[in-house]
Structure 1
Amino acid sequence: MSHRRLPSLSALRAFEAAARHESAKQAAQELSVTATAISHQVRGLEEALGITLFLRKPRQLELTPQGRELQQVLETAFDSISQAVERMSAAPTRQSVTLSTTPAIAARWLLPWVCMLRDSHPGIDLRIHATHEPVALDGVTADLAIRYGDGHWPGLVAEKLLDNTFIPTCSPRLGLHDIAQLPLHPLIHFRPQGAVSAPLNWSIWQKHAQVPGLDVNAGLVFSDETHAISAAIGEQGVALMSRQLIEDELMEGRLVQPFGPELTGKSFFLVYPESRQHDPSIIAIRDWVRVVPGGLCTLSR
């Protein structure tokens, strides 16, 4: 970029005010200086430019054609600067933070309590990235995430949020109580697309339960946990779900655990880059996740 050739900005401001008011006295009042100072600034500007800007009359300053041209340019420029400063002064500083998590955790635990984060940190705009695939926590795709795994991710701080206990669950209207009756009901499967490590499934459960006649490959298959839960509530079969994920349905009686065994799966962790562990925005989201009611508030820390 070439160097800008500009005269004194103070002189330009004094000239613009004098030209607008057609009076050195009124310009002086606006800028809180003396009329003599205005006249001195304008004369200095004329000498620097080598042109005459005003025809000086006893009680009025009259712009020359060159002065009129400069006045119009400066008026537009100063108006633009003034509007930009007003916009920046009026707009609060905002910080966007992206949290990546599974669709079920996003919908069932986080979204109902975004208002808590908004009340405590109104300057933070939370963006929830719902996916089963692990994404880069590079500050572009996401800043932090809730991940399912063993808690070991190089370069990331991993804070344990909750354990996962998987249980058979169904609508109480199915009247299912005896594990021997399970083969008479459809199985509901959750198979997330793109997940690096899937949760426990019916095949693993059957190795512990050893239910005669149970076909672990048959039944309804969903790629979204919330759909699998809805199918179970709707009496479409028996699902193997994380108890922590369906606590509300169990307490309200919309779902029941008819029998065991229960299986322990990998835990969920809040993860973020070690390099950002002191970042105020990361700390704000971390503290919010820790106290979200209806699930995460009761999790281990």
Structure 2
Amino acid sequence: MRSTRYDIPPLDPLLAFEAAARNLSFTKAASELFLTQSAVSRQIQTLEESLGVKLFERRPRALLLTEAGQSLYRVSQEVLQRLHDSARKLRGAAEVRAVTLTTTPGLAALWLIPRLARFTGAHPGVDVRISAGNEIVSLDRAGVDLAIRYTQSDRAGNARKLFGETVLPVCSPELARDRARPLAEPVDLRHHVLLQLDDPRAAWLDWQLWFHALGIEELQPAAKLHFSHYDQLIQAAVSGQGVALGRHPLVRGLLREGKLVAPFKQDVCSSRAYFLVESSAARSKPEVRAFIAWLLEETEKETLGDGPNTNACP
């Protein structure tokens, strides 16, 4: 096979020409390129001889582009800019190793971020970029490596299950010790403020469903506080503002730290679980494989730790 060869001007004279044409000055071009004026002049002469045309019209007090020079200047600017952009992009890709992940705000704030230092400490050269939201995005189109999705098992497709979820009431230790309003059994919740998540996509986190699962008739609490984000609801519970439906494993860390307590042991399995989804490009990235391995180790700890066994749920 015969090799092809591009009949193009040499790069150094072309760079000198572009700088001189842009500045309309050999002196300014020389300063920009860290060359002498005579060196720039020689580069331009070499280029003109290579092309067989005059590129500049030299006047006593001005430097003008010829018609051929104007044509070459337009093309050279475009070509050099594209080379510059491509080189910058390639260098950036080689220098930065990153894992991009999308998940729900609740999982990001309450479960993933508190553990993330263990991964970044073991992999200091890898950037982790988390996008928290309830919208399901196409990983390949959005350029995202991984997603941890909260959905029903029959809608998860071929995604890998990380852990299930159980739900039970949680509150601050101070609220649990309130002798005027003891929390000895679930019906005692009628004396307390219940923290309610107002999200049409999370109807299964309604208090009445938990009461129904335990066979408790309609129960009217002292009051309700409503929240649009689960992590805010849990923060309200930590600060003693009421009783929340705690989602294991999201609140397990707060229970271990003693910031929350579970006054009752009756937990209910959620119909949803957390699943890991990978983009097609992620499989070839070592940093993403390392993150997945770490993530699976962390989720394995959930099944071996204290509290409800979330993997026993469907």
TM-score (norm 1): 0.65
> 1:286 — aligned with what?
292
Alignment of 1:167-246 (within 5 A): 167-174=168-175, 175=177, 176-179=182-185, 180-193=187-200, 195=201, 198-211=203-216, 214-215=219-220, 219-246=224-251
> 2:31 — aligned with what?
none
1:190-248, CA deviations, whole angstroms, 9 ceiling, x for partnerless residues? Answer: 2335x2x5444322211232346622796222221112112222222221111311122
Q: Which runs of 5+ in 2 are unaligned?
A: 1-5, 18-25, 27-35, 304-310
Corresponding residue pairs, total: 263
Contact 2:191–2:222, Cα closer than 8 Å, also in 1: no
What is the distance in 2 between the residues matched to 1:207 and 1:23? 87
Residue 231 of structure 2 aligns with an amino acid whose one-letter code is T
1:263-290, CA deviations, whole angstroms, 9 ceiling, x for partnerless residues? Answer: 11122111235x4462426535433433
1:150-178, CA deviations, whole angstroms, 9 ceiling, x for partnerless residues? Answer: 33447x64111122121111122223331
1:18-46, CA deviations, whole angstroms, 9 ceiling, x for partnerless residues? Answer: x966479x97xx9xxxxxxxx9x679537
| CA displacement at 1:136 relative to structure 2 | 3.3
Q: Give yes or no for the alignment of 1:262 onto 2:255.
A: no
> 1:249 — aligned with what?
254
1:42-78, CA deviations, whole angstroms, 9 ceiling, x for partnerless residues? Answer: 79537x32x5x9xxxxxxxxx98399858x9899969
Residue 250 of structure 1 aligns with an amino acid whose one-letter code is L
Contact 2:195–2:237, Cα closer than 8 Å, also in 1: yes
Q: Give yes or no for the alignment of 1:120 onto 2:123.
A: yes
Contact 1:11–1:42, Cα closer than 8 Å, also in 2: no
What is the distance in 1 between the residues matched to 2:105 and 2:92? 33
| CA displacement at 1:104 relative to structure 2 | 1.5
Contact 1:202–1:216, Cα closer than 8 Å, also in 2: no
Cα pair distance change 1:229/1:44, threshold 3 Å: closer
What is the distance in 1 between the residues matched to 2:205 and 2:222? 14
Residue 287 of structure 1 aligns with an amino acid whose one-letter code is A
What is the distance in 1 between the residues matched to 2:262 and 2:16? 80
What is the distance in 1 between the residues matched to 2:278 and 2:136? 12
Residue 103 of structure 2 aligns with an amino acid whose one-letter code is T
Residue 257 of structure 2 aligns with an amino acid whose one-letter code is E
Q: Secondary structure at the match of 2:260?
A: coil
Residue 140 of structure 1 aligns with an amino acid whose one-letter code is A
1:236-263, CA deviations, whole angstroms, 9 ceiling, x for partnerless residues? Answer: 2221111311122212222111113211
What is the distance in 2 between the residues matched to 1:203 and 1:217? 15
Residue 212 of structure 2 aligns with an amino acid whose one-letter code is K
Contact 2:208–2:218, Cα closer than 8 Å, also in 1: no
Cα pair distance change 1:253/1:278, threshold 3 Å: closer
Q: Which runs of 5+ in 1 are unaligned?
A: 1-5, 31-38, 54-62
Contact 2:150–2:274, Cα closer than 8 Å, also in 1: yes
Contact 1:191–1:222, Cα closer than 8 Å, also in 2: yes
Contact 2:150–2:273, Cα closer than 8 Å, also in 1: yes
> 2:138 — aligned with what?
136
Q: Secondary structure at the match of 2:163?
A: strand
Contact 2:104–2:133, Cα closer than 8 Å, also in 1: yes
Q: Secondary structure at the match of 2:142?
A: coil
What is the distance in 2 between the residues matched to 1:142 and 1:10? 40
Alignment of 1:10-159 (within 5 A): 10=10, 13=13, 22=38, 44-45=49-50, 48-49=52-53, 65=58, 81=80, 84=84, 87=88, 91-93=92-94, 94=96, 98-114=100-116, 116-117=119-120, 120=123, 122=125, 124=127, 126=129, 128-140=130-142, 142-153=144-155, 157-159=158-160
What is the distance in 2 between the residues matched to 1:272 and 1:16? 48
Contact 1:167–1:261, Cα closer than 8 Å, also in 2: yes
Cα pair distance change 1:276/1:216, threshold 3 Å: farther
TM-score (norm 2): 0.63
What is the distance in 2 between the residues matched to 1:162 and 1:198? 20
